[in-house]
Structure 1
Amino acid sequence: MLAWRKGLKQPLADLILPGALLLLALWLRLHRLDQVEFLWDQAEISKWALRMARQGEIAWVGPPSSTGIYSFLGTVWLMAIPYALSPSPIIATGFVALLNVVAVLGCYLLARRWFGRWAALVATLLFTVAPWAVIYSRKIWQVELLIPFTLLYAATGWWAFVKGKGWAVPAHALALAWLIQIHLSALALVPLTGLWALLFWRRLAWRWVPPAILPAALLFTPYLLFDARHQWFSLRRFLEMARRPATLDAGALHAVWINTTGLDLHWLTGPDRYPEFVAATPNLRGLFVVEGGLAFGAALLALLQVARQARRGLDEETAAALMAATWLAMPILFYTRHVVPVAPHYFTTVFPAPYLLVGWLVRRVASWTRTRGRAYVFALGLLIGAIALAQLREITGLFRFVTTHDTLQGYDTPLGYDVRAARTALRLSRAMDDAEVILLSEGDEPRSYEMPATADVLLYGYPHRAVDIRTALVLPAGPAVYWATYAMTPGEALLAIFAQEVPEARLPLREGKRAYRFYRWPGGFPTIPDLQRLPRPLRWANGAQLIGYRVAGDLRPGGTLRWTLVWQPTRTPDEDLYYHWFNHLLDAQGTFRGQRDGPSVLPAYWRAGDTVLNWFEIAIPADAPPGNYRMRVGMYTYPALENVPLLDGAGRPAGEWAEIGPIPIGRGSAGR
């Protein structure tokens, strides 16, 4: 009977329970991938990977980081794999999620090797349902690719430093170098490797260290060559940042505590909606604090265990506990002093160290209580189960909340809405003989704004461009489909005069408070209400041609003039810069009375034959005398602030601005 029970427990612990945890990890990380966030970072990484996978542009570096420094190539190379199979960002997100499911399996295998099967089950259970570990596995982002390779780093570190295997030394060096290639936050692991080498120096096969450094260093060659060709931009930027005054605080400790426990989910719900989320979910968050206490307490216990064994040498279990404890602690120590603000996502490299420590703690408690009964182990097991269930409820409740509530200050519009909108725009485009798609959004520069960058991915391979509907409207000579993503603006209201909305295509977003809207434009020159045509077009050297203007608003002193320039590009500029308009309001005596500058349209999106409207609101001083005013209009490059020459009929420079009008100030309201 005893042998039968033992035989039953063996497959339960070895196959059924780990398999169940792996299935749970699959469900949490791959369920409803169309509901993930897709922000500017995800779009920019995707664009680099798409160019590499589908256009053969080999990436030597990655996209610039928030610090301005170019990232390394690791993330782009990894993401080129799914994008070679499909241009869908949902497929690419699934690739990231699958890698993190492999990390769950890696956690089980490493924990079992270190502490045995039951400790491995505890560690893997907590890692599987850890809210932030799940969140950091469902997005195309550098830091979300770190966890699986961090486990490889730890495993090769074990074989190199504790087991003394020579082959593991170069493997560990390559894993460390590759982690840095993915994200610079992995630099915190460099001193950790050094610490492990010092702690286990007697076991390390030192003869393997020099040949291990060379292949790891070679991974950085493309980056260095790129930086050298660009006047060492990133290196100079890095040295400049290093000279900044450093901050010493507990931000890193707080970030690791958050990642470990799953607290502070208000960052995703938004502070305005967090009370609703708390009210809608069981408040078992006190258990999360207990989990953090168990993890950090286990780390301290590991250090005490090391101190007791220091004279006679560490056994393998204690050595593994020491590795886990230092793995948890080193990123905290490394970023306690910092020159850029720390954020929780900089610390994904600590996963799954806290849960390995909790698994080890359970093993130690089981060992200590073996002669005193199993009540303590049973109670600890119930506590671990309660923590896991509470966190499972928390993360599933969070996903349900953010995908059904319009969390404007937290979780962004889920990707699935953007995918459906892009498909709608393309369907309407095909019905109009493949008309181009024009995105109406906040901003038009994909290198700076989220929706233009997202459209570059979702409409990859199709003609499209973006317009900042807050300041401009573009009406092309040919047919077009407009995809409006921003709140209704005067510009979109003006578009509705020229183009027909497709009401059946309107796509409501979460809670129906906002919606994506679509318009059809047949092409040609629009009949613009209240257009004041110039006697002859004014041409600038960059290809802009001003053909008229509109006057609207309250034209009385103290009112606001709504001034619209109507112009046409004659070419697409080759130069990679921005052009802004300046508008100086002059009274009848030529005295300056007001000004408003603003962007035109992204030059890369200028098309010959377009009609462009740029509008500006200019405050009229309360003491402005009535009369026929004029507007001094010109263009300049931004941010260089160099005026663009105005050309005469023969194409020769003829000044830098023109004065147009009249504008009747003091006569009430005008236009719409």
Structure 2
Amino acid sequence: MSRRTEWACLAVILLLAAALRMGWPEITEFKRDEAALYSLALDVAEFKALPLRGIGSSVGLPNTAVSVYLFALPLFVWKSPLAATLWVGLLNTAAVALTYFFMRRYFGGRAAVLAALLYAAAPWAVIYSRKIWAQNVLPVFVVAYIFTAALAFLEARRRWLPAHLLLLALIAQIHYSGLLFLPLTGALLIIFRQNVDGRVLGWGAALAAITAVPFLLYLAQSSGGNMSGLSGLLGRPFQFSLESFQLAALVSMGTEIHSLAGPQEFRNYLATVPDFTGLLWLGGALTLIGGWVAVRRQNISAVTRHSSLLLLIWLLLPPLAFLMHSTPVYPHYFILMLPAPCLLAALAVDNLLTRFQSKLAQVAGYAIPVGITGAQIWLFLALLNFIGARATPGAFGAPLGYLLQVAQAARAAPDVLIVSAGARPQVDETPAIFEVLLRGAPHRFVDGRTTAVFPAGEAWVVLWPMDDALATTAYETLGGVQLQTTVPLRQGEGQVRILAASGAAESALTKLPQPREASALLSNFAEILGSGGDGQVWQLWWRAPEGGEDVTLFAHVLDAAGNRVAQADVPTYPASGWRAGDVVISFFALSGSGVIVRAGMYQSGSLAPVEVLDVSGNPSGQWLEFPRENPNNK
């Protein structure tokens, strides 16, 4: 292969890698974790904060802030989640380029082109290049880590050692699975100690330590809760299983990407594509052959032999390390070994092309990786089209493009109420998403399963489709709102309705089923207006004050003898979203027969009761009583 042909192939491969990783960025997941990481990065880009830690992790210890600062970089240019998404794709495209240069240096141009081609289209490598996730930026750092290991230790280019140690520190802080490389670097330092300069090693160690300073400061400032979480993790019993090798094989071969379509839809996706299982398994077989070649190659330089073994260790280290584990093992733990399977597969094909020189063998040798790549591209593009157009319950979330459409439409409102399943951005997915997408615009959150808010002022109500949305029915039946626009979601997900509310509070009050003879004022200045509902769902109507402390409402059903036969507690929407004059309906699922409902409020944090005030403003009790049945529904 001539140098010109090689460069032309590389250009085409990089265009392919970029298209798969950066094309259609609106078809990407943007759930609570992605929103949380993007929010922290946006704080940095807007010069609002310099965080010492990242988002939480599944192991009980918070992530470090390295990923936050990495994702902040593109946001200095364009403050959009699309910018952060494209940034992930760009870094992973750079990993493909770096893979080529690594392979070319140690294994030649043909092996380099083949490795870059296989890596460019590897399905899981592409999938893990397309969303705002800390571990998704690992590959470019991991390839650079392996490259600098070869330069510093195998070639004795000592000036590369600080870069190697810096990359090790960054990888371990981007995702804790990166700690698996620590023993590898330690072993290389011992085995190739004659190639190590003590002063250079010291400078590299100091540079690596500096990157950990923010997180160390966080640990020093925080309470012992983080250490107890780590102690709890270390105290869990370990178990042995081969699941790590199963997941490593899955990531290596690109199988089971249909899992992104979810348990209800994956068969529908599979019906749209040919069965390429044989080609994917052929790719896995080439990786195994490449591992054999790495061990058995002869008549090569010591550097090339050691580089081959380094590739094999890179491939085997993660699955071997997770044979014993105390926490669940997930496929994304094996991002760490990408693109080692592709490099070994390329090594196998290159070796076969060298050994068999007939024209037929040469055509077949090139056709195999091209065929595997073509099948992988077909499968991925079909999957992208499927998950971008159809609901995938339990799997791929609503694509970012739809979320941005909703946010853009809502920004035109003077005030926005997001009505969805949940009202607290810290724990609930839809509020977490729109907390950051509507940053800078007035907005508040309402859990539509338990609460309906009719604003006193001008506002728009964004109704996110959900099951058991009692608020949706209330808006439809009580009036005071008009349909402003709709944003259709994927097939099977329904649509987001945006309602314009003007005078909605007063309009709703005209339909209050059972108004009290006189409203009751509580000690937090909330005003109880009346009740309603039927035998299944009871309603408490109240008027919100301006702000306050978060409260929970309770409702106890009493029989004629005064015995409690049913009860329910529901949180209100966050008090930070209360606006004076808003009319609120709180819904309670109350079973059992009874004649009286005793209801009131208590503070969510301290559990202290919110007192009922008498006409003089003095506390007179901790609850009010209402008739159980709504006469209008008898």
Is TM > 0.5 for Structure 1 vs Structure 2?
yes
- Of 547, 566, 578, the residue aligned with 2:541 is 566
Match of 2:626 among 644, 656, 661: 661
Partner residue of 2:450 out of 451, 466, 471: 471
| Residue 462 (1) aligns with residue 437 (2) | no
Q: What is the DSSP-based 3-state SS (H/G/I as helix, E as strand, rest coil) of the residue aligned with 1:547?
A: strand
Q: CA deviation at 1:199?
A: 4.1
Write the letter of the residue equivalent to 1:619.
S
1:469-618 to 2 correspondences below 5 Å: 469-487=448-466, 489-496=469-476, 497-502=478-483, 505-511=485-491, 514-523=494-503, 524-528=505-509, 529-541=511-523, 543=524, 545-554=526-535, 560=536, 562-573=537-548, 579-618=551-590
1:352-391 correspondence to structure 2 within 5 Å = 352-369=339-356, 373=358, 375-391=360-376
Q: What does the per-residue CA deviation read over 1:400-421, in whole Å, with 9 as the maximum and x for residues that have no partner?
A: 1111222223222211111112
**Structure 1 501/191 Cα, relative in aligned 2: closer, same or farther at 3 Å?**
farther
AA in 1 matched with 2:367:
L
Mapped to 2, the partners of 1:204 and 1:351 lie a distance apart of: 27
8 Å contact kept, 1:530–1:550:
yes
SS of 2:195 mapped into structure 1:
coil
Within-5 A mapping of 1:20-419 = 20-305=12-297, 315-369=302-356, 373=358, 375-419=360-404
Whole-angstrom CA distance in 2 between matches of 1:491 and 1:190: 53
1:642 is aligned to 2:607: yes
Q: Is the 8 A contact 1:579 1:637 kept in 2?
A: yes
Q: 1:651 to 1:98 in 2, by over 3 A?
A: farther
Q: Alignment partner of 1:280: what SS? A: coil
Contact 2:44 2:72 (8 Å CA) reproduced: yes
2:5 corresponding residue in structure 1: 12
How much has 1:509 moved relative to structure 2? 1.7
Work out the CA distance in 2 between the residues paired with 1:378 and 1:75. Answer: 44
Counterpart residue number, 1:632? 598
Structure 1: state its 5+ residue gaps.
1-5, 430-434, 555-559
Range moving further from structure 2, 608-617 or 315-324: 608-617
The question of whether the paired residues in 1 share the 8 Å contact of 2:599 and 2:624 is answered with yes
Aligned equivalents of 1:79, 1:239: Cα separation in 2 = 30
- Per-residue Cα deviation, 1:522-547 (whole angstroms, up to 9, x for no partner): 14534332443345544555x26241
* Paired residues of 2:279 and 2:372 also in contact (CA < 8 A): yes
Contact 2:481 2:502 in 1 (8 A): no
Aligned-partner Cα distance in 1 for 2:319–2:15: 32
SS at match of 1:34: coil
Structure 1 CA distance for aligned equivalents of residues 268 and 557 of structure 2: 50
CA distance in 2, matches of 1:330, 1:76: 27
Give secondary structure in 2 for the equivalent of 1:236: helix
Relative to structure 1, is the Cα distance of residues 116 and 544 closer, same or farther in structure 2, using a 3 angstrom cutoff?
farther
**Residue 273 of structure 1, CA deviation:** 1.6
Cα deviations by residue, 1:41-60 (Å, 9 ceiling, x for unpaired): 11111111111211431111
- Where do 5+ consecutive residues of structure 2 fail to align? none
C-alpha spacing 1:233/1:217, structure 2 compared with 1 (3 Å):
farther
Contact 1:540-1:644 within 8 A present in 2 as well: no
Q: Call closer, same or farther: CA 1:386–1:471 in 2, change over 3 Å.
A: same
How far is the alpha carbon of 1:147 from its aligned partner?
1.1
> In structure 1, what is the Cα distance between the partners aligned to 2:301 and 2:575?
66
Counterpart contact for 2:508–2:583, Cα < 8 Å: no
| Most deviating of 530-539 and 129-138 | 530-539
Secondary structure, aligned partner of 1:510: coil
Aligned-partner residue type, residue 596 of structure 1: A
Cross-structure match for 1:557: none
Equivalent-residue separation in structure 2 for 1:148 and 1:117 (angstroms): 20
Q: Counterparts of 1:257 and 1:196 in 2: how far apart (Å)?
A: 26
Equivalent-residue separation in structure 1 for 2:448 and 2:629 (angstroms): 27
Q: Is the 8 A contact 2:158 2:195 kept in 1?
A: no
Distance, in Å, in 2 between the alignment partners of 1:651 and 1:263 is 69
Range with bigger deviation, 444-453 or 375-384: 375-384
Is the alpha carbon distance of 1:620 and 1:173 closer, same or farther for their aligned partners in structure 2, counting shifts above 3 Å?
same
Q: Secondary structure of 2:411's match?
A: helix
Cα offset, 1:116, TM superposition:
0.8
User: What is the CA–CA distance in structure 1 between the aligned matches of 2:324 and 2:601, rounded to whole Å?
Assistant: 46
**What SS is found at the alignment partner of 1:62?**
coil
- Give, in angstroms, the shift of residue 437 of structure 1: 1.1
**Are the aligned partners of 2:286 and 2:349 in contact in 1 as well (CA < 8 Å)?**
no
Identity %: 29
Cα shift at 1:351: 1.0
- 2:49 is aligned with what amino acid? E
Does the CA-based 8 Å contact 2:252-2:341 persist in structure 1? yes
List per-residue Cα deviations over 1:197-232 (Å, max 9, x = no partner): 344344344553233222212221211211222213
Question: RMSD in angstroms over aligned alpha carbons?
Answer: 2.4
Deviation at 1:481, TM superposition (A): 0.6
Q: Secondary structure at the match of 2:534?
A: strand
Q: CA deviation at 1:291?
A: 0.8
Question: 1:394 Cα shift?
Answer: 0.9
> CA offsets per residue over residues 318-372 of structure 1, 9 Å max, x none?
11111111111111122222222111112111111111111222233334446xx
**Residue 634 (structure 1) shift:** 3.1
Alpha-carbon distance between aligned partners in 1 of 2:153 and 2:516, rounded to the nearest angstrom: 79
User: 1 CA distance for matches of 2:186 and 2:579?
Assistant: 57
User: How far apart are the structure 2 equivalents of 1:551 and 1:499?
Assistant: 18
- Partner Cα separation in structure 1 for residue 346 and residue 197 of structure 2: 29
Amino acid at match of 1:607: R
Matched position secondary structure for 1:440: strand
Describe the SS at the equivalent of 1:567: strand
Once the two structures are TM-superposed, the CA of residue 124 in structure 1 deviates from its matched residue by: 0.4
CA contact (8 A) 1:92 1:140 kept: yes
CA contact (8 A) 1:442 1:470 kept: yes
Identify the residue that residue 423 of structure 2 maps to in structure 1.
Answer: 444
